[in-house]
Amino acid sequence: MATNIPADCLYAENHEWIRVAGDTARVGISDHAQDELTDVVYVELPEVGDSFAQGAPFAVVESVKAASDVFLPVAGEIIAINEDLADTPEAVNEEPYGKGWFVEIRISNPDELSSLMTPEAYAAYLETLG
């Protein structure tokens, strides 16, 4: 089954997506990432008000046998977290770009967005990973 790469997001090398709306954005992990992780059982999220640099680990996503850091695609301040993930971590597997979002941020430096991959570039990137 082909992996889902929505056109309205940008992507980072560690398989995070970011959907920008003005100076804020939503962040989650890609369909490819959730598939690699297998069943997500827990997501550890930051607190609202925390700030992170581009590429800094801001969350941890756990399957039964693994825990992986999730990195912020661009620097920003956390303005909302997806509290529903506490009860329904499976949303990350089922709707990685929808109900399975992780956080909303206020983007610190919009210039950093240019370092991210377009959907086409991300699709090509996944090809190189085999």
Interacting residue ranges for another protein, rule: CB under 8 A: 39, 41-42, 44, 47, 62-67, 89-90
- Considering beta carbons, is residue 90 or 95 the nearer one to another protein? 90
- Whole-number minimum distance, CB 62 to another protein, in Å? 4
Can you tell me whether residue 93 is helix, strand or coil?
A: helix
- Whole-number minimum distance, CB 49 to another protein, in Å? 12
Q: Which of 20, 13, 46 is nearest to 109 (CA)?
A: 20
Amino acid at 87: D
- Considering beta carbons, is residue 28 or 89 the nearer one to another protein? 89
- Considering beta carbons, is residue 41 or 75 the nearer one to another protein? 41
Can you tell me whether residue 41 is helix, strand or coil?
A: coil
Q: Which of 37, 35, 33 is nearest to 12 (CA)?
A: 33
